[in-house]
Amino acid sequence: MRAVVLIVLFFVMVMSIVSALSCRRLLPMLTFVVTAIEMMYLGIVDNSSGKDKLLTKICVLVLTAFIAVFLFFSHNFVYKPEAPYLSNGRDTLWDTQTEDLADDICAGCETDVEKVQAFYEWIISNCEYDYEADPLFQHFDVRKTLRTKQGLCFDFAHLFVAFCRSQNIPCYAVDGVSYKDSAARHTWNRVYYDGAWWNVDITADNSRTANGKELYGFHKLEGAFVPDEDFFITKIY
């Protein structure tokens, strides 16, 4: 029995580390750590016998089942190059209220192009850049952005991601460092519609709208992960 449990735990541990490396999420890594601890416990520490031993194994198996379920969802709702980016995860978490708002914004839109444009225009028209916020002490929260109608570049980018993904439109946020100034960091979006990936910088267009300048708009890309001309990409969400 112990051998079977150890084999199952080893399989879960291998899958979790593969998932952690491929999707860069915290949950699979925690799964790996917890499973490794379980294996050490069963293989080295557990010297109990009789009912206590059986109860221990049952508890471990139940815990492993929960871990496997969490691992399944973390693996299946994470972006991969060959699959749409539609994750509702920690970095771009949205709730039913956010989804209802997205439904209202794109009501009457028939295509993904129209929906994306509607989300883009809504954020620019309804949200203001928070010049008093300190990026070092900020964390992005879609619900906070909707509540305050203010934010920084990553707030607007993740709100756009949440809107798009809630409508099953592949989209992700991009963090980058300027080639010209290593202290200049920025977050913008890439979204998939009409058979191609497009670059969009809502923060820049929000500022340009306020200053009456021509908007950046949407620029077609050759692929999902092509380099940016102005920024070195450090992370995607």
Rounded CA-CA distance 156/59 in Å is 44
Q: Which residues contact 144 (CB under 8 A, 6 or more apart)?
A: 151, 155
Q: What is the pTM of this model?
A: 0.63
- Can you give the pLDDT at residue 77? 39
- Can you give the pLDDT at residue 138? 58
- Nearest by Cα to 80 from 190, 197, 170, 188: 170
- Grouping H, G, I as helix, E, B as strand and the rest as coil, residue 104 is helix
Tokens of 49: 């016998």
pLDDT in tens, the chain (237 residues): 556 666 666 666 666 666 555 444 455 555 666 666 666 666 555 555 555 566 666 666 666 666 666 555 544 433 334 444 666 655 566 677 888 899 999 998 999 999 999 999 999 999 988 887 766 555 567 888 888 888 888 889 989 998 998 888 998 888 888 888 777 888 889 999 998 999 999 988 888 887 778 888 898 988 877 888 888 888 777
Q: Tell whether domain 96-236 is in CATH 3.10.620.30.
A: yes
Q: Which residues pair with 187 in a beta bridge?
A: 175
Segments of the chain assigned to CATH 3.10.620.30: 96-236
- Can you give the pLDDT at residue 214? 81
